[in-house]
Copies of this chain bind each other. A is one copy, B any other.
Amino acid sequence: MDTATRLFAELGFENTSMAKICAEAGVSKGLIYHHFSTKNDILREIFSTTTQRMAEISASSQESHDPHEQLLSLIERLFDQLQTDKSFFQLNLNIMLQPGTRSVLQDLIRERSAYLLASVRKIFDKIDPVNSEVSSYMFIAELDGIALDYLSIFNSYPITALKKLMIKRYSPKA
Protein backbone atom coordinates (compact mmCIF):
# COMPACT_ATOMS: atom_id res chain seq x y z
CA MET A 1 0.00 0.00 0.00
CA ASP A 2 2.88 2.37 0.63
CA THR A 3 4.26 1.65 -2.80
CA ALA A 4 0.85 2.10 -4.39
CA THR A 5 0.34 5.42 -2.60
CA ARG A 6 3.66 6.68 -3.77
CA LEU A 7 3.14 5.60 -7.36
CA PHE A 8 -0.41 6.93 -7.54
CA ALA A 9 0.93 10.25 -6.30
CA GLU A 10 3.84 10.30 -8.73
CA LEU A 11 2.18 9.00 -11.85
CA GLY A 12 -1.52 9.26 -11.24
CA PHE A 13 -3.87 6.39 -10.67
CA GLU A 14 -4.56 5.63 -14.31
CA ASN A 15 -0.91 5.69 -15.25
CA THR A 16 0.10 3.29 -12.52
CA SER A 17 -0.23 -0.30 -13.62
CA MET A 18 -0.56 -3.20 -11.23
CA ALA A 19 2.62 -4.52 -12.79
CA LYS A 20 4.50 -1.39 -11.75
CA ILE A 21 3.21 -1.60 -8.20
CA CYS A 22 4.25 -5.25 -8.02
CA ALA A 23 7.69 -4.56 -9.41
CA GLU A 24 8.36 -1.62 -7.08
CA ALA A 25 7.00 -3.41 -4.05
CA GLY A 26 8.89 -6.56 -4.93
CA VAL A 27 5.89 -8.85 -4.70
CA SER A 28 4.01 -10.95 -7.20
CA LYS A 29 0.75 -10.05 -8.89
CA GLY A 30 -0.87 -13.03 -7.28
CA LEU A 31 -0.08 -11.76 -3.83
CA ILE A 32 -1.60 -8.34 -4.39
CA TYR A 33 -4.75 -9.90 -5.71
CA HIS A 34 -4.75 -12.15 -2.69
CA HIS A 35 -5.13 -9.08 -0.47
CA PHE A 36 -7.06 -6.63 -2.64
CA SER A 37 -9.71 -7.75 -5.00
CA THR A 38 -9.26 -4.93 -7.54
CA LYS A 39 -7.08 -1.95 -8.26
CA ASN A 40 -9.97 0.26 -7.20
CA ASP A 41 -9.96 -1.53 -3.90
CA ILE A 42 -6.41 -0.42 -3.22
CA LEU A 43 -7.42 3.14 -3.94
CA ARG A 44 -10.35 2.98 -1.53
CA GLU A 45 -8.17 1.52 1.17
CA ILE A 46 -5.63 4.31 0.72
CA PHE A 47 -8.31 6.95 0.80
CA SER A 48 -9.89 5.53 3.96
CA THR A 49 -6.59 5.37 5.76
CA THR A 50 -5.94 8.97 4.83
CA THR A 51 -9.32 10.07 6.13
CA GLN A 52 -8.54 8.43 9.45
CA ARG A 53 -5.24 10.23 9.72
CA MET A 54 -6.98 13.52 8.95
CA ALA A 55 -9.55 12.87 11.64
CA GLU A 56 -6.78 12.32 14.15
CA ILE A 57 -5.13 15.60 13.25
CA SER A 58 -8.41 17.43 13.46
CA ALA A 59 -9.19 15.84 16.83
CA SER A 60 -5.79 16.64 18.26
CA SER A 61 -6.18 20.32 17.45
CA GLN A 62 -9.28 20.47 19.60
CA GLU A 63 -7.38 20.10 22.80
CA SER A 64 -7.70 23.75 23.65
CA HIS A 65 -11.14 25.14 24.44
CA ASP A 66 -10.62 28.52 22.88
CA PRO A 67 -11.90 28.47 19.29
CA HIS A 68 -9.26 30.90 18.05
CA GLU A 69 -6.56 28.71 19.47
CA GLN A 70 -8.17 25.72 17.84
CA LEU A 71 -8.15 27.49 14.48
CA LEU A 72 -4.56 28.52 15.01
CA SER A 73 -3.58 24.95 15.74
CA LEU A 74 -5.49 23.69 12.71
CA ILE A 75 -3.90 26.25 10.40
CA GLU A 76 -0.43 25.56 11.66
CA ARG A 77 -0.74 21.81 11.37
CA LEU A 78 -2.19 22.06 7.92
CA PHE A 79 0.47 24.37 6.56
CA ASP A 80 3.11 22.15 8.11
CA GLN A 81 1.73 19.04 6.48
CA LEU A 82 1.23 20.87 3.20
CA GLN A 83 4.90 21.73 3.01
CA THR A 84 6.09 18.37 4.28
CA ASP A 85 3.86 16.01 2.35
CA LYS A 86 3.27 17.74 -0.92
CA SER A 87 2.72 14.63 -2.95
CA PHE A 88 0.34 13.22 -0.38
CA PHE A 89 -1.99 16.21 -0.72
CA GLN A 90 -1.57 16.23 -4.46
CA LEU A 91 -2.73 12.64 -4.57
CA ASN A 92 -5.80 13.44 -2.55
CA LEU A 93 -6.80 16.38 -4.70
CA ASN A 94 -6.12 14.47 -7.83
CA ILE A 95 -8.20 11.40 -7.05
CA MET A 96 -11.11 13.48 -5.85
CA LEU A 97 -11.13 15.44 -9.07
CA GLN A 98 -10.58 12.83 -11.71
CA PRO A 99 -13.93 11.40 -12.84
CA GLY A 100 -12.65 7.84 -12.96
CA THR A 101 -11.34 7.69 -9.44
CA ARG A 102 -13.91 10.11 -8.11
CA SER A 103 -16.79 7.79 -8.88
CA VAL A 104 -14.96 4.92 -7.19
CA LEU A 105 -14.58 6.97 -4.02
CA GLN A 106 -17.89 8.85 -4.04
CA ASP A 107 -19.17 7.59 -0.71
CA LEU A 108 -15.81 7.97 1.00
CA ILE A 109 -15.42 11.53 -0.27
CA ARG A 110 -18.85 12.46 1.01
CA GLU A 111 -18.10 10.90 4.36
CA ARG A 112 -14.78 12.66 4.74
CA SER A 113 -15.98 16.08 3.69
CA ALA A 114 -19.02 15.88 5.98
CA TYR A 115 -16.77 14.98 8.87
CA LEU A 116 -14.30 17.79 8.20
CA LEU A 117 -17.07 20.33 7.77
CA ALA A 118 -18.64 19.27 11.07
CA SER A 119 -15.28 19.54 12.83
CA VAL A 120 -14.68 23.06 11.61
CA ARG A 121 -18.23 24.12 12.24
CA LYS A 122 -18.01 23.05 15.85
CA ILE A 123 -15.29 25.66 16.22
CA PHE A 124 -17.09 28.44 14.39
CA ASP A 125 -20.23 27.78 16.40
CA LYS A 126 -18.36 29.08 19.38
CA ILE A 127 -17.35 32.26 17.61
CA ASP A 128 -20.46 33.27 15.70
CA PRO A 129 -23.26 30.68 15.73
CA VAL A 130 -25.41 32.66 13.30
CA ASN A 131 -22.91 32.63 10.45
CA SER A 132 -21.08 29.50 11.41
CA GLU A 133 -22.12 27.58 8.31
CA VAL A 134 -20.91 30.03 5.73
CA SER A 135 -17.84 30.88 7.83
CA SER A 136 -16.91 27.22 7.94
CA TYR A 137 -17.28 26.80 4.19
CA MET A 138 -15.26 29.94 3.60
CA PHE A 139 -12.52 28.83 5.97
CA ILE A 140 -12.29 25.47 4.26
CA ALA A 141 -12.35 27.10 0.84
CA GLU A 142 -9.46 29.33 1.78
CA LEU A 143 -7.38 26.42 2.99
CA ASP A 144 -8.29 24.28 -0.01
CA GLY A 145 -7.61 27.14 -2.37
CA ILE A 146 -4.22 27.84 -0.88
CA ALA A 147 -3.34 24.16 -1.03
CA LEU A 148 -4.49 23.93 -4.62
CA ASP A 149 -2.63 27.02 -5.75
CA TYR A 150 0.50 26.10 -3.83
CA LEU A 151 0.61 22.53 -5.03
CA SER A 152 -0.58 22.72 -8.56
CA ILE A 153 -1.04 26.16 -10.02
CA PHE A 154 1.78 28.53 -9.22
CA ASN A 155 5.40 27.83 -9.66
CA SER A 156 6.65 29.87 -6.74
CA TYR A 157 4.17 30.54 -4.01
CA PRO A 158 4.45 32.87 -0.97
CA ILE A 159 3.19 30.16 1.30
CA THR A 160 4.43 31.67 4.56
CA ALA A 161 2.89 35.05 3.79
CA LEU A 162 -0.45 33.36 3.24
CA LYS A 163 -0.07 31.40 6.43
CA LYS A 164 0.49 34.64 8.35
CA LEU A 165 -2.52 36.21 6.69
CA MET A 166 -4.69 33.24 7.64
CA ILE A 167 -3.49 33.38 11.22
CA LYS A 168 -4.11 37.12 11.44
CA ARG A 169 -7.57 36.62 10.04
CA TYR A 170 -8.62 33.71 12.24
CA SER A 171 -6.54 33.97 15.37
CA PRO A 172 -5.86 37.69 15.68
CA LYS A 173 -4.31 37.59 19.13
CA ALA A 174 -1.64 35.08 18.13
Contact = CB atoms under 8 A, between A and B. Distances in A.
Copies of this chain per assembly = 4
Interface in A127-174: 133-134, 137-138, 140-146, 148-149, 152-155, 157-158, 161-162, 165
A65 to B, nearest CB: 27
A145 B140 contact: yes
A11 interface: yes
Interface residues of A, number: 41
Nearest to A99: B12
Interface string A1-44: 00000000111101100000000000000000000000000000
Interface of A: 9-12, 14-15, 90, 93-94, 96-100, 102, 109-110, 113, 117, 133-134, 137-138, 140-146, 148-149, 152-155, 157-158, 161-162, 165
